[in-house]
Amino acid sequence: MPTIHARQALLPSGWANDVEVHIADDGRIAWVSAAHMNVEIDVETEVGIDAPENASSSSPSAVPIHVDILLPAPVNAHSHAFQRAMAGLTEGRGPDVRDSFWTWRRLMYRFLDQLTPEHVEAITAFVQLEMLECGYATNVEFHYLHHRPDGRPYDAVAEMSERVAAAARTTGIGLTLLPVHYQYGGCDRRPLGEGQKRFGSDLAQYGDLFDGAAAALAELPTDAALGVAPHSLRAVAPESFAPLIELASGRPIHLHLAEQQAEVDEVSTAWSKRPVEWVLDTLDPGPQWCLIHCTRMLPHETTALAQTGAIAGLCPITEANLGDGIFDGCRWLDAGGQIAIGSDSNIRISLVGELRTLEYTQRLRDHTRAALATREKSVGRRLFDAVTRGGAQAAARACGQIAEGAWADLMSLDGHSANTDGLRGDLILDSYIFAGDDALVRDVWSAGRHVVHEGRHHARDAIEAAYRRTIRELRHAL
C-alpha cells in the first residue's frame, strides 16, 4: 500500500502542509505526519498521528503518490441506485393539473417493472462509478427493489442485494447496504399497489432478506457494512419498529421522514401525531438513526430532533427536483444537529452540487448570504466538516478524517485549476464548492483502494458500456 504526499491536507486538527499519509495493507491509515500547520492552528499543535519512530518519511514499499490537496472523502448517505436509469425522463407535465412527487412516483413504478437483476447490477455499478469520480468513497444503498415485478421472490431471496454487492466488488466503492422493510401502501395498512409489489415483505420475509444481504456482503472486503431501513411511517406498522430495532442490534437504522406534506397529513390523521412528533415520542431516536429528508418539520420539531444526536440525511438536488421542500439547515445546525449528504434519486450525482444546493436554498428562503457559515468557519468548511463526520456516523464506517486507524477514504483536488490556484486553507473548500465543480477531483481512495486516478475510474470503459446497453433496452421497452 502507498504513501500519499500532499502539499496541503485537511487533518482533524486543521489544515497542514507537506503531509504524508501511509496506508496499511488492511486499507486503514497507518500513520500521518506533517511538516507544519497553516496559520489557523498553532505550529506546535500535534498534527493527526505522527509517524512511528521506525517509519521513514516515505513508504519503503512504493514511491509516494504526490497530490496537491488531500481531503477525507465523504459518504453518500442515501441512494436508490436503480433510479439513475430514469434520470431526465420525467421532466414533462403529466395528466394531472399540477405535477408533483406523487405523479413522479407513478412514473417510477412503471419504469421499475422493466428491471431485471442484470439491469440493476449494471445501473448500480455506473452509479457507484459516478459517486467515486465526484469524491464519494462510500455508497449507503437504501435498497428496496427486492422481488420480481409481481411480488414473487427470486429463487435466491436476496438476489437483488447480491447484485448491489457485485457492483461494489466491480467498482471498489465502500458499501453500507440497507435492505428496506416495506409492508403496506399507507397508514391504513392497505395492500401494496401494482408498482409496489417488488418491495414488499412481512417481518419474517424481511429477516430472510436481511440475512441474505449479510451473506452477500461477506463476499466483499471487510469495510462493507449492513444496516436496517424501515421505509417510512406510511409503509411500516407501528408495532414493527421494535423488532426491526432489535434486528439492527446497534447497526444503522435509516428511515424516510417528513418528506411530503401528504405524508405528514396521512400520519397525523392516522396516528394523531405529526411524523416527527411520533418518532420522538415512540422510537427514542439517537446516533444510530439517520432520518432522510425531514423537509416538512416545524421549528420545534427541528430543534428537538437535532438534539437527539440522530443524523439528518439530506439530498438537496433530489429534494429540489421533486419539490419536497427546504430543510431548515440553519436551525438544525445551530441546535447541534448532525447532517449527512446523499444523491437519493440520482437525477444528478454531484457532491459539490448537493452542498451548493443545500446552502443556496437557505439563502433563497431567508434572503441572506453565507447562511450556514459561523464566525469560526466559512460555509464550505462548515459543510464539508459536517458531511464527512455525519456521513461516517450514518454509514457506521470509521472514516471521515485523515487519522491513524480510520479507513483510508480519501480524495485529492487539483490545486492548479483556475478555481484553486494559489488558495490555501478554507478558501479551497469555498472555491471548490461554489466556484468549481466535480472535475476538480483527481484521485479517490476507498479503504485504500485507489479507484479514481486523474479524475477517471479505472474501469470506466467497461462499466459505462454495460450501462449504455442497459438503458437502451429499458428505453426501448418504455
Name 77's Cβ contacts closer than 8 Å, sequence gap at least 6.
140, 290, 311, 313, 340, 341, 342, 390, 391, 394, 395
Query: Inter-axis angle of helices 299-306 and 275-282, to 10 degrees?
Result: 30
Nearest to 21 by CA among 88, 78, 67, 75: 67
From CA 146, how far away is CA 263, in angstroms rounded? 23
Nearest to 322 by CA among 42, 29, 91, 165: 91
Contact, 324 vs 260, CB < 8 A? yes
Q: Which DSSP string do the residues of 297-327 spell out, in sequence order?
A: --HHHHHHHHTTT-EEEE-HHHHHHTT----
Which SS3 state, helix, strand or coil, does residue 437 take?
coil
- Reading the block at residue 272, the C-alpha cell is 394523531
Contact, 88 vs 347, CB < 8 A? yes
The beta strands (E) that lie in 149-241 are given as: 174-181, 225-226, 229-230
CA 409 vs. chain centroid, Å, equals 14
Residue 39: how many other CB atoms lie within 10 Å: 10
Please tell me the total number of residues recorded for the chain in this structure.
Answer: 478
DSSP state of 74: P
Active site positions, annotated: 293, 344
The beta strands (E) that lie in 306-454 are given as: 311-314, 338-341, 410-413, 441-446, 449-453
Contact, 173 vs 132, CB < 8 A? yes
Nearest to 396 by CA among 210, 282, 254: 254
Paired sense of beta strands 3-11 and 225-226, if any: unpaired
From CA 149, how far away is CA 218, in angstroms rounded? 27
Instruction: Give the amino acid at 302.
Output: T
